[in-house]
Chain A
Amino acid sequence: MSEKDTGAVREELIKYYDGAERVATIIDEEVAFPDGKLIVSRTDLKGIITHVNQAFVDMSAYSRDELVGANHNILRHPDMPAVAFKGLWDTIENGEKWQGYVKNLRKDGRYYWVKATVIPNVRDGKLVGYTSVRRKPSRSKIVESEKLYSTLM
């Protein structure tokens, strides 16, 4: 757990890139990334989830049924700057791999940090979707990212 966690609960309006909005409950409490696991998901070209592994289900606290078919921004945390995701999309739509640190929002309002790698899925020469694999980040990288992202908000 992060030492700065206060456990404070707040309601916050999350505004998405496409203009959609939702009010989410945000709890300042980290859930630790499970040792040795990878959190895996795949999306179509628009970022709609097509596959999740069990670690994804467990960490997000949503059910598989709630996740598959949903927009991947279901995990967007209000502490993440929009520019980080712009960088992600610009990179993968260009056919390249993206790697970065992401703070994710769970269904219960708590959060978890990941080191994410997103790659384009090419089949028979055609881009058909994206795969993201997350690993456990180091504490120092989380602290660095928290600092950086707060300046980009």
Chain B
Amino acid sequence: MPFNFTVSPDFAPDHMSGWFYFNTWLQRNLETEIHLELFDSFDEQREEIRAGKIDLIYANPYDASMLVREHGFKAVVRPAGKRDEAVVVVPASSGAEVVEDLSAGVRLATTADPDVHTIGMIMLEPADLDKSNITQREYDTYILVAKALLRGDADVGFFLKQGFDELSDLIKKQMRVLVSSQISVVHHSLLIGPNMQEYSDSLNGLLVNMHNEPKGAGVLESMGIKRWESMSVEQTEFMIDLIDTLMI
């Protein structure tokens, strides 16, 4: 039976093929069979996780919490320099200059990305806004969130900072960032499940040196990752503790 590998559905579409190259590279270097399965939705992926069908996952920080604390996963590496930050955005024509200018009843455009949504909601708190006094609609992509803002279907939107930065200048010019999170310790990580633990050390050794090897460097580039950094148990626990505080 091959091991099962999956990637948090919030990966950039441009990097999809990169994850397949990565899987090929992993199988060759770990000398074991791994099947990569990508899911369209967070919920579908979580069902597979709960069913114990996942052995290796590039997880968003929110899911990492559940994977480590409830399913015995361990963090192996994280992408160097990549942090999960969120931005709260309004249409350029909005009267709001700061978050505190937003008031009850605003229409929020968001995505199913749990980190971005959680951090975004925290950044609305200074305006006394929460899910009880706003209306929110979930969109599949950040492009669609931007479109909702530009069409006037929403007053405020949440983006992964990187997702916002990657929009075209033409679109960005029609919007304004009210707040940008600067949390810096919340990030995605590659986690290994209980059934694959025997590969943990070899995986860590391979990945932290991946950028030094010509083939590995090419694969990393196609995934939009500079290099992998080792993650200690305590670093992982700290990140999860921090996320826990954001959940209430």
Partners in one complex: yes
A contact residues vs B (CB 8 Å cutoff):
33-38, 40, 42, 53, 55, 97, 99, 115, 117-119, 121, 123, 131-133, 135-141
Which residues of B lie under 8 Å from residue A53 when comparing CB positions? 184-185
Q: Does any Cβ of A come within 8 Å of B52's Cβ?
A: no
Q: Which residues of B contact A118 (CB under 8 A)?
A: 245
B33 within 8 A of A: no
Are B125 and A138 closer than 8 Å at their CB atoms?
yes
Report chain A residues within 8 Å CB of B237: 121, 123
- Contact indicator per residue, chain B 165-188, by CB within 8 Å of chain A (1) or not (0): 000000000000001111111000
CB of B242 within 8 Å of the partner chain: yes
Report, as a range, how many residues of chain B touch the other chain: 20 to 34
| Beta-carbon contact of B241 and A131 below 8 Å | yes
- Within the complex, what minimum Cβ distance (angstroms) separates B50 from chain A? 22
A121 with B125, Cβ < 8 A, contacts A35-B99, A36-B181, A38-B183 known: no
Alpha-carbon gap, A118 to B127, bound state (A): 22
List chain B positions with a Cβ less than 8 A from chain A: 98-100, 122-123, 125-128, 179-185, 237-238, 241-242, 244-246, 248
Interfacial chain A residues near B126, Cβ < 8 Å: 33, 35, 136-139
Q: Give the nearest-CB partner of A37 in chain B.
A: B182
Residue pair B245, A133 in contact (C-beta under 8 Å): yes
> Hey, which chain A residues are within 8 Å of B181, CB to CB?
36-37
Main secondary structure of the interface of B (DSSP, over half): helix
- A-B Cβ contacts below 8 A, count: 62
- Which residues of B sit under 8 angstroms from A97, Cβ to Cβ? 244-245, 248
A55 to chain B, nearest CB (A): 8
Can you name 20 extra interface pairs (CB under 8 A) apart from A36-B182, A135-B122, A137-B126? Answer: A35-B99, A35-B179, A36-B123, A37-B181, A37-B182, A38-B242, A55-B182, A97-B245, A99-B248, A115-B125, A117-B245, A117-B248, A119-B245, A131-B241, A131-B242, A133-B242, A133-B246, A136-B125, A138-B126, A139-B126
The reply to whether B183 and A119 form a contact with Cβ atoms under 8 Å apart is no
B98 contacts across to A, CB distance below 8 A: 35
Question: Closest chain A residue to B233 by CB distance?
Answer: A123
